């Protein structure tokens, strides 16, 4: 892996995602999309069967399992053990269990183990990795006038508390990553403050996941529609990397990986060029 970062490619198996609106709802299309992201250099593929966009309605566990398990199995068959690690984006223990059985090794829970009382025990029992994210309220309500005393201090305290909970439930600390939840119950100004002071979240000592890809605050800043926010996505990821983030959840893997590779070569250890790299 180039640099000290990982790129997590998004595979939405939903009809109502804000970014790709059901393009990959059919299992074959989702598997093909995941294979493309792997070819672009994804280290992790994050498969989700329930949209968490603002205002999204919940999906039952059975339907979520029906959507994601064939995709997970298909990706495992196509990519094999040498392919990217597979992550399940869910807050339901029943879905996570089915996904782990099908080949996932990471659980990405936007509720930070608050949505299902059995999730932490399941992750501990299976020895899975997990990502715990901050969200104010739930997807239906999170953007209704979100308020904080100090958004960075409040998010940090929340993540520290959820990390302590996970460890108390038997999840080894070294298997936990933390996500400040950019866009999840935050205003434009609060999102920017989190990015500006992301080093305070990184100081907790666990890998920090950042998910800014194509989000609405980038559209508000640039005036761009959802399909034309790559430049803003790259800018926020490079800034987040410089402030200590190490896992980047994105829709556009190849260009973000290229940008982070340049950032890593610039701000991290001395860089050795690839033997096949062209010079100009």
What is the arithmetic mean of pLDDT over 5-14? 95
* Phi, psi (rounded to 5 degrees) for 209: -100, 135
pLDDT at 272 over 90: no
Asked whether residue 280 is assigned to any structural domain, the reply reads no
Asked whether residue 22 is assigned to any structural domain, the reply reads yes
- pTM (2 decimals)? 0.90
pLDDT at 274 over 90: no
141 within 8 A of 52, measured Cβ to Cβ? no
In whole angstroms, how large is the CA radius of gyration of the chain? 18
Q: Confidence band (pLDDT; 50, 70, 90) for 22?
A: low
Q: What is the pLDDT at residue 229?
A: 97
Q: What is the pLDDT at residue 279?
A: 41
Asked whether residue 276 is assigned to any structural domain, the reply reads no
Q: What is the pLDDT at residue 62?
A: 97
93 within 8 A of 125, measured Cβ to Cβ? no
Q: Confidence band (pLDDT; 50, 70, 90) for 228?
A: very high
Average pLDDT value for the chain: 91
Asked whether residue 78 is assigned to any structural domain, the reply reads yes
Which of these, 110, 112, 104, 111, lies nearest to 129 by C-alpha position?
Answer: 104
Q: What is the dihedral of CA 118, 44, 232, 132, to 10 degrees?
A: 20
92 classed as catalytic:
no
CATH number at residue 122: 3.20.20.20
36 classed as catalytic:
no
Q: What is the pLDDT at residue 137?
A: 72
Q: What is the pLDDT at residue 255?
A: 98
Range of the domain at 151: 6-267
Asked whether residue 273 is assigned to any structural domain, the reply reads no
- In degrees, rounded to 5, the angle at the alpha carbon of residue 106 between the alpha carbons of residues 229 and 247 is 40
Asked whether residue 275 is assigned to any structural domain, the reply reads no
Q: Which of 23-37, 121-135, 214-228 has the lowest mean pLDDT?
A: 23-37
When divided into structural domains, the chain yields a total of: 1
Q: Which candidate in 92, 162, 214, 249 is catalytic?
A: 249
Q: Measured between alpha carbons, how far is residue 114 from residues 91, 111, 119, 243, 245 in Å? A: 8, 5, 8, 28, 24
Q: What is the pLDDT at residue 19?
A: 56
Q: What is the pLDDT at residue 271?
A: 47
Q: What is the pLDDT at residue 58?
A: 82
pLDDT at 263 over 80: yes
What is the arithmetic mean of pLDDT over 106-131? 97
Asked whether residue 274 is assigned to any structural domain, the reply reads no
Asked whether residue 1 is assigned to any structural domain, the reply reads no
Q: Which candidate in 162, 197, 215, 243 is catalytic?
A: 215
């Amino acid at each position: 892996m180039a640099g000290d970062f990982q790129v997590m490619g998004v595979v939405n198996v939903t009809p109502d995602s804000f970014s790709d609106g059901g393009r990959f709802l059919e299992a074959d299309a989702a598997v093909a999309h995941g294979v493309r992201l792997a070819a672009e250099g994804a280290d992790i593929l994050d498969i989700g069967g329930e949209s968490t966009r603002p205002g999204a309605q919940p999906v039952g566990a059975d339907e979520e399992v029906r959507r994601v398990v064939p995709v997970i199995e298909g990706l495992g068959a196509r990519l094999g053990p040498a392919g990217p690690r597979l992550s399940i984006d869910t807050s339901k223990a029943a879905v996570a269990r089915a996904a782990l059985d099908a080949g996932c090794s990471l659980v990405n829970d936007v509720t930070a183990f608050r949505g299902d009382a059995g999730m932490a025990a399941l992750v501990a029992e299976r020895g899975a990795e997990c990502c715990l994210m901050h969200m104010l309220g739930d997807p239906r309500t999170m953007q209704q006038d979100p308020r904080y005393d100090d958004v960075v201090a409040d998010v940090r305290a929340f993540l520290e508390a959820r990390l302590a909970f996970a460890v108390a439930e038997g999840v080894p600390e070294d298997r936990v990553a933390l996500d400040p939840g950019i866009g999840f119950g935050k205003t434009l100004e609060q999102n920017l403050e989190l990015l500006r002071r992301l080093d305070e979240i990184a100081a907790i000592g666990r890998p920090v996941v950042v998910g800014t890809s194509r989000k609405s605050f980038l559209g508000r800043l640039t005036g761009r529609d959802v399909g034309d926010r790559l430049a803003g996505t790259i800018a926020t990821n490079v800034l987040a990397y410089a402030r200590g983030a190490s896992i980047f959840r994105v829709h556009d893997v190849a260009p973000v990986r290229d940008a982070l590779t340049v950032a890593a070569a610039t701000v991290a250890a001395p860089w050795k060029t690839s033997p096949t790299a062209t010079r100009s």
